[in-house]
């Protein structure tokens, strides 16, 4: 290190001591001049002699320091370490927080002095006793902390007035597992529109998926869907629906799978495309092969309804007299049958997306049947309201026609005798 030396400054022919003795009131100016001279020499060594320092006038400025004497670089409101290879350390519980903000509630970066914990907080700080306090007791506090000790990332919240009562809302562990907690409803809401998707899990593990929550819809003009999975021994899987404009909780259950595997469906199952349909175990292909002890309904270019191609069971319709009311003998007979027009035809495949059975068929026209046997004809539930014939219901009509024909024959035979 360089040594700075200079002789004691003298004034005229007198020495420094003589000057003070001759004029005691000049002591302060004399000392200031001595100090200034020493500082000029020191600063010249720092800054190449380009400037001087006048300490008594308060003219020592940051700008006059040499570059290697400046630990920070200032640019506007930005403060940057001059040597970016150095680490900025803020020690201590109180001082160990990097704080920002001009409002009462401040933001902070905090590291615990003895634990492997780092926090990012809003409206929360640690006192010397490592107790949480709030800048503004009327507002809640939020914390996000990283723990090397617990190997996790946690987001928590404390209610207003109780900054130490932190409830963990989210935990991300080292395995990438994300756990969400909610003290009130155990729900995760997704979406930024009026209608939201919600995932909910109760304390017993029951899980629900909501779209426009059927029991508290955020838009009552739209329908709601609710899927429930219950892990209990006799639990169930169900799909529930609330119609648009229906009241909260007014739901139907289109599908329910009970804990014993029984399925209850409150809807019509439709094959909507080639290869669609319902197939039970060991059905095989829908081309007619591989059916053994099986039931199949579906579509493969031709509408199918199969029940085991090797053994077909009995198909019955409940017909117990004890179940029937208002019994009347008003079934159309021979006149209705004579009015029918048996035809052969092919279906117009362009009239329905899934098509119709292909090829040529025997049958009747529903419009011809309806005036003479109206109970045999029904409208389907499509937008086009296609007419359908239940050919089973023609059996009583045919029976009555045969009876009437037999009676006519008997009458003719009796007259000829």
d(CA 254, CA 49): 92
Q: What is the CA radius of gyration of the chain?
A: 47
Can you say whether the dihedral through the CA atoms of 8, 11, 12, 16 is positive or negative?
negative
- Kindly report the CA angle at 375 between 370 and 379, in degrees rounded to 5? 70
Pairing type for strands 72-75 and 97-100 reads unpaired
Count CB atoms within 10 A of the CB of residue 158. 20
Rounded CA gap, 288 and 304, in Å?
9
- 267 in Cβ contact with 279 (< 8 Å): no
- Find the angle CA(315)-CA(317)-CA(322) to the nearest 5 degrees: 145
pLDDT in tens, the chain (417 residues): 344 444 444 445 445 556 556 666 655 555 555 555 655 555 555 544 444 444 444 455 556 555 666 677 777 766 677 776 766 665 544 446 778 777 888 888 888 777 778 888 999 988 877 788 999 999 999 999 888 888 999 999 999 999 989 888 888 888 888 777 754 456 777 777 788 788 887 777 788 888 888 888 888 899 999 898 888 767 788 898 999 898 888 888 888 888 877 888 776 655 555 555 555 544 444 444 444 445 555 555 454 555 544 444 566 778 889 989 999 999 999 999 999 999 999 989 888 765 677 889 999 999 999 999 999 999 887 778 889 999 999 999 999 999 999 999 998 888 876
The residue behind tokens 């003589």 is 18
Task: Provide the β-strand partners of residue 304.
Answer: 298
């Amino acid at each position: 290190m360089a040594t700075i030396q200079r002789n004691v400054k003298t004034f005229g022919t007198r020495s420094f001591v003589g000057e003070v003795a001759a004029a005691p009131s000049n002591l302060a100016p004399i000392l200031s001049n001595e100090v200034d001279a020493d500082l000029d020499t020191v600063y010249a060594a720092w800054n190449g002699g380009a400037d001087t320092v006048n300490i008594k006038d308060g003219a020592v400025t940051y700008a006059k320091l040499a570059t290697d004497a400046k630990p920070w670089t200032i640019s506007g409101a930005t403060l940057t370490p001059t040597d970016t290879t150095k680490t900025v350390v803020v020690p201590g519980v109180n001082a160990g927080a990097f704080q920002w903000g001009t409002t009462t509630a401040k933001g902070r970066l905090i590291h615990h002095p003895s634990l492997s914990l780092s926090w990012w907080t809003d409206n929360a700080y640690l006192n010397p006793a490592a107790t949480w306090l709030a800048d503004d007791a009327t507002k809640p506090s939020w914390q996000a902390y990283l723990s090397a000790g617990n190997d996790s990332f946690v987001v928590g919240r404390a209610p207003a007035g109780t900054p130490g009562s932190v409830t963990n809302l989210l935990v991300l562990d080292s395995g990438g597992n994300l756990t969400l907690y909610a003290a009130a409803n155990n729900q995760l809401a997704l979406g930024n529109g009026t209608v939201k998707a919600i995932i909910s899990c109760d304390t017993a593990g029951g899980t629900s998926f909501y779209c426009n929550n059927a029991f508290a819809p955020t838009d009552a003009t739209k329908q709601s869907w609710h899927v429930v999975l219950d892990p209990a021994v006799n639990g169930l899987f169900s799909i529930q629906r609330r119609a648009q404009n229906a009241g909260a909780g007014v739901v139907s259950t289109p599908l329910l799978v009970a804990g014993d595997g029984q399925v209850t469906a409150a809807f019509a199952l439709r094959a909507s495309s080639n290869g669609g349909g319902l197939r039970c175990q060991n059905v095989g292909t829908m081309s007619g092969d591989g059916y053994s002890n099986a039931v199949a309904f579906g579509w493969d270019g031709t509408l199918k309804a199969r029940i085991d191609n090797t053994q077909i069971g009995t198909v019955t319709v409940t017909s117990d007299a004890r179940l029937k009311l208002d019994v009347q003998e008003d079934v159309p007979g021979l006149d209705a049958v004579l009015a029918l027009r048996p035809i052969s035809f092919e279906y117009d495949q362009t009239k329905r997306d899934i098509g119709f059975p292909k090829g040529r068929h025997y049958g009747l026209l529903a419009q011809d049947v309806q005036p003479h046997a109206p109970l045999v004809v029904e409208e389907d539930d499509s937008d086009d309201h296609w007419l359908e014939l239940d050919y089973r219901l023609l059996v009583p009509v045919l029976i009555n026609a045969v009876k009437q024909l037999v009676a006519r024959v008997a009458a003719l035979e009796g007259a000829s005798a």
